[in-house]
Structure 1
């Protein structure tokens, strides 16, 4: 796998994992004690913790990327040969 291919796979995987991680632990303002932030709807997240989610996304993506890189580097699965047989 080339460096450019690795960057592309890492970026796509990071975005997919981010959209999976975003809803974790989200509580709407209506469920939290206190008043609703002016100018927002009741269902807006009270404390989204976005930087924590970015960090969790990066760690999960690194684990997945290392697995994919290892599979490709060791030729455990040859995708070109798989699609030639179809």
Structure 2
């Protein structure tokens, strides 16, 4: 397994986890007691916590990449030698 495959698995898993984490804990401006920022719609998020989500997304993506690397190199799952029926 080469480094390009590992980087690709990390990037794809990072974006998948990030998009899944984006709506977690987000409240719209009209749902909070704070006033609505001028020039934005009331349904815009008041505090999306992007840095926190990016940190946890990176941790999860690293774990997914390590899991993929282990499965790919351990021989538990092998797609080599499979013949179509």
TM over 0.5: yes
Tell me the equivalent position of 2:27: 27
Tell me the equivalent position of 1:63: 63
CA shift at 1:2, angstroms? 0.7
Runs of 4+ in 1 over 4 A off after TM superposition: none
* Runs (5+) with no aligned partner, structure 1: none
Tell me the equivalent position of 1:5: 5
TM-score using structure 1 length: 0.91
Residues paired across the two proteins, number:
85
CA shift at 1:20, angstroms? 0.5
Tell me the equivalent position of 1:76: 76
Instruction: Kindly report the root-mean-square deviation, in angstroms, between the aligned alpha carbons of the 2 structures.
Output: 1.2
Secondary structure of 1:46's partner?
coil
* Runs (5+) with no aligned partner, structure 2: none
